[in-house]
Amino acid sequence: MKAYPGKEIRNVGIVGHGDCGKTTLVSGFLYTAGVTSRLGSVAEGTTTTDFDEEEIERKVSISTGLAYLEWNKTKINFLDTPGYNIFLNDTLASLVAADAAFVLVDAVAGVEVVTEKVWEFSNRYELARALVVNKLDRENANFERAVESIQSVFSRSAIPVQWPIGQEKGFQGVVDLISGKAFTYTADSKGKGKPVDVPAALADAVKAAREKLIEVIAESNDKYMEEFFERGTLAQEHIVEGLREAVAGRRLFPILCTSATHLVAADLMLNFASDVLPSPVDRGKVAGASASGEPLEREISDTAPVSIFVFKTIADAFSGRVSYFKVMSGILVNDAHLTNYNKGTDERLAHISILQGKEHSAVAELHAGDIGAVAKLKDTLTWDTLGDKGVPILYPAVKLPEPAISFAIGAASRNDEDKLSTALHKILEENPSLRFYRDPQTNEFLLGGAGQQQVEVVVSRLKRRYHVNVTLKAPKVPYRETIRGTADVQGRHKKQTGGHGQFGDCKIKMEPLPRGGKFEFVNDIFGGAVPRQYVPAIEKGIIESAHRGFLAGYPVVDFRVILYDGSYHDVDSSEMAFKIAGSIAFRKAMELAHPVLLEPVMNVEVYVPETYSGDIIGDMNSRRGRIQGMDTRGHTQLIKSQVPMSEMLTYASDLTSMTQGRGTFSMEFSHYDVAPSQISDKIIAAAKAERGHTAPEEEG
């Protein structure tokens, strides 16, 4: 393929709710443009952009797939993104490389929860976009109802630029309102329409819709408004020009219509992408920063210094680490030597390529605005910027939400244990939204993700790709312990063993601190009752005992200890003796200071269609949750609450069941609160049963 200049490139994200037909639509585009010899099928696992084994098996997009085609002397790069909320972080991360988006809407269901989320993503990146009403051939499909749903949720600036011919099984073509021409499609038309007269039954509706379109285009620009007032319409070239300007400025959001499975209007949508959607160059300058953090801008131009931004990384069995990048400026040539500005290292970009799903096609160069891939970079990872050595610029990393759920993960055998860390490291390079860490309190290794299904995909990939078997289980809840009362006690350790003995004696007061106060140690000794060198040992004994816990083995927090008296022996006293004395004093004080168990409480935000909000609130109440507020966003309800972590361990799968997969949630730590007695009693009993009850160390 020839190298296209940025003005002749379109980078189009294909976004929408899961199962709205995104992958099928991209397959239809490739078939219509002659790239593939047959129309790919999600059910059969033959689509270009869903090529991963997990995607083929599950029949859903898990990560963004890339594809390209040539149409009307334009190169169109498609980013086929996931539509199920568990995998949406990849959509958010990949859209940084897009300049426009096709937002798919199901003609039966209308705007759904994820449709609203990807619209927000598009707003974040300031993407021009068009809405595509798909599945118009389905039973109960209704174009006008879908348009009403779009306009009520998003904007009255969303208006049709196409009108369907026929409905449900009778859907066979469209009227292009931009040109006023009608086209029909048959099973053997391969996505290319046959010109026909506008059906008489649609004449009035088409006329009204076209007049509305022209009026909205005129309203978006003063020079067109003047022409519209004079003539009552616009010249055809001004309709296209005005539409292009309004779309690029996000003042107008065209609505297209199709049946992706039957290739209806595939050619017209490709015409629309090449003629109306903005090129990367049209977007002007891109924001970045210097190494010191000062704001910088870079023109998306071939004449600017070379810079590329890596927006995705995948692990390929044959090529190793493959970096997907967008050329932000300059012309990238094959075998270029660039500097990784984030790492300060040099990289050689041998064998740059463009991607058709999993197939790599080598190219000699890529111009500003184009998307490519390169394998086996030494130090480069997702969100890194590379470029010419003398003119550094850093493009900002995409901020992804923190994982909503974590699972304790462990190797199934010793052989798996040796390979687990390396394999997980490669998977984490692919997906920056995952987290793998050791909980310092429970000592468990945790794998965090957006939901249970995402974590299960990781487990499956570990087995398929790296032959590593692991076990998953719900993580231990990181409870804490604290006190509600005060205590004044003596800790005395005395032992005589024939030679030098052991003697340490301290008197302490213990009192609670406000939640989040952690631990304070106050040395209030006067007159040398305890020599200065032994005071840190007493504090250490208390800290170590507090870490081991008192009620159920969880760390004790939010308390103050005041050391106010004690005694020592000139020969038998030592740091160890006073450390043990401090530990004894701590346990005695805990017995008297009304210890209680604290549980972590999470801030939870749930996005669901309005029809499910009552069920969600009832479910939150059953989980001991406290509703903090509600907010309506289109047809979506945002429900905010605070819920104990122990009640949220299975929430991802429970929410999917309650909402038929249409609900999403996010969760982050808020604070610790006292656990109810019936809850704490069970936890304490289980902890004692697990570790066996050990009697306190006796005073010497």
Please indicate, yes or no, if residue 212 is contained in any of the structural domains: no
Answer yes or no: are the C-beta atoms of 8 and 75 closer than 8 Å: yes
Residues 275 and 301 both lie in one domain: no
Residues 377 and 416 both lie in one domain: no
| Both tokens assigned to 211 | 């007049």
Answer yes or no: are the C-beta atoms of 601 and 670 closer than 8 Å: yes
Instruction: Give Cα 304 distance to the centre of its chain.
Output: 32
- Residue 440: CB partners within 8 Å, gap ≥ 6? none
Q: What integer is the mean pLDDT of 132-149?
A: 96
**pLDDT digits over 51-104, tens only?**
988 899 989 999 999 999 999 999 999 999 999 888 999 999 999 999 999 999
Distance CA 239, CA 567 (A): 94
* pLDDT for the residue numbered 136: 97
Q: Where are the beta strands (DSSP E) in 53-168?
A: 65-71, 74-80, 100-106, 128-134, 158-160, 162-165
* pLDDT for the residue numbered 441: 65
Q: What integer is the mean pLDDT of 24-30?
A: 97
Answer yes or no: are the C-beta atoms of 165 and 182 closer than 8 Å: yes
Q: What is the dihedral of CA 275, 280, 285, 290, to 10 degrees?
A: 170
- Of 473, 503, 530, the position where a domain reaches its end is 473
User: Which residue's entry shows tokens 């609900």?
Assistant: 663
Look at 476 and 251; give whichever has higher pLDDT.
251
pLDDT at 106 over 70: yes
Q: What integer is the mean pLDDT of 209-228?
A: 90
State the DSSP code for 96: G
**pLDDT digits over 629-673, tens only?**
998 866 778 899 999 989 988 887 889 889 887 787 877 788 999
HSE, side-chain direction, 13 A CA sphere, residue 651:
26
Distance CA 561, CA 548 (A): 17
Answer yes or no: are the C-beta atoms of 385 and 288 closer than 8 Å: yes
pTM: 0.79
* pLDDT for the residue numbered 446: 87
* pLDDT for the residue numbered 700: 41
- What radius of gyration, in Å, describes the C-alpha atoms of the chain? 32
**pLDDT digits over 569-623, tens only?**
988 899 999 999 999 999 999 999 999 999 999 999 898 888 899 999 999 999 9
Distance CA 538, CA 580 (A): 8
pLDDT at 694 over 60: no
SS3 234: coil
Distance CA 2, CA 75 (A): 10
CATH number at residue 456: 3.30.70.870
Distance CA 315, CA 427 (A): 7
| Both tokens assigned to 684 | 């304490």
Residue 572: what are its φ and ψ, rounded to 5°? -85, -15
Q: Where are the beta strands (DSSP E) in 496-551?
A: 502-512, 519-523
Please indicate, yes or no, if residue 180 is contained in any of the structural domains: yes
Q: What integer is the mean pLDDT of 164-193?
A: 95
Please indicate, yes or no, if residue 297 is contained in any of the structural domains: yes
Please indicate, yes or no, if residue 632 is contained in any of the structural domains: yes
Question: Which range of residues forms the domain containing residue 666?
Answer: 598-680
pLDDT at 243 over 90: yes
Across-strand partners of 355?
A: 360
Instruction: Give Cα 347 distance to the centre of its chain.
Output: 28
Please indicate, yes or no, if residue 209 is contained in any of the structural domains: no
Name the residue among 595, 567, 594 with its Cα closest to residue 581.
567
Please indicate, yes or no, if residue 237 is contained in any of the structural domains: no
Residues 507 and 633 both lie in one domain: no
Please indicate, yes or no, if residue 228 is contained in any of the structural domains: no
- Residue 148: CB partners within 8 Å, gap ≥ 6? none
CATH number at residue 517: 3.30.230.10
Percent of the chain with pLDDT over 90: 70
| Both tokens assigned to 180 | 């006023």
* pLDDT for the residue numbered 625: 95
Residues 431 and 348 both lie in one domain: no
User: Which residue's entry shows tokens 């998977």?
Assistant: 427
Residues 461 and 573 both lie in one domain: no
pLDDT at 503 over 70: yes
* pLDDT for the residue numbered 634: 65
Residues 27 and 156 both lie in one domain: yes
HSE, side-chain direction, 13 A CA sphere, residue 470:
28
Residues 112 and 137 both lie in one domain: yes
Q: What integer is the mean pLDDT of 103-132?
A: 93
Answer yes or no: are the C-beta atoms of 27 and 48 closer than 8 Å: yes
Total domains, the chain: 5
Residue 189: CB atoms within 10 A of its CB come to 18
Residues 361 and 486 both lie in one domain: no
Distances (CA, A) of 405 to 228, 347, 504: 56, 36, 47
In sequence order, what DSSP letters do the residues of 258-275 get, joined into one string?
-BGGGTBTHHHHHHHHHH
Amino acid (one-letter) located at 346: D
Distances (CA, A) of 592 to 71, 291, 485, 554, 587: 80, 56, 8, 18, 9
Distance CA 511, CA 462 (A): 49
- Of 448, 473, 498, the position where a domain reaches its end is 473
* pLDDT for the residue numbered 699: 41
Residue 441: CB atoms within 10 A of its CB come to 16
- Residue 419: CB partners within 8 Å, gap ≥ 6? 466, 467, 468
Overall size of the chain counted in residues:
700
Residues 302 and 426 both lie in one domain: no
The secondary structure element, H or E, covering residue 359 is strand 359-362
Q: What integer is the mean pLDDT of 263-287?
A: 96
pLDDT at 204 over 60: yes
- Parallel/antiparallel/unpaired status of strands 595-609 and 480-483: antiparallel
Q: What integer is the mean pLDDT of 336-343?
A: 96
Residues 465 and 496 both lie in one domain: no
CATH number at residue 340: 2.40.30.10
Amino acid (one-letter) located at 36: T
Residues 289 and 277 both lie in one domain: no
Please indicate, yes or no, if residue 291 is contained in any of the structural domains: yes
Residues 316 and 268 both lie in one domain: no
**pLDDT digits over 444-485, tens only?**
888 988 777 888 899 999 998 899 999 988 777 889 999 999
Distances (CA, A) of 131 to 277, 507, 602, 685: 12, 74, 36, 57
- Residue 204: CB partners within 8 Å, gap ≥ 6? none
Distance CA 160, CA 671 (A): 49
CATH number at residue 192: 3.40.50.300
Distance CA 75, CA 6 (A): 9
CATH number at residue 615: 3.30.70.240
Q: What integer is the mean pLDDT of 486-495?
A: 95
Residue 82: what are its φ and ψ, rounded to 5°? -65, 150
* pLDDT for the residue numbered 448: 85
**pLDDT digits over 549-569, tens only?**
999 988 999 999 999 999 999
SS3 692: coil
SS3 251: coil
Name the residue among 244, 252, 242, 322 with its Cα closest to residue 51.
322
| Both tokens assigned to 13 | 């994200």
Averaged pLDDT of the chain: 92
pLDDT at 696 over 60: no
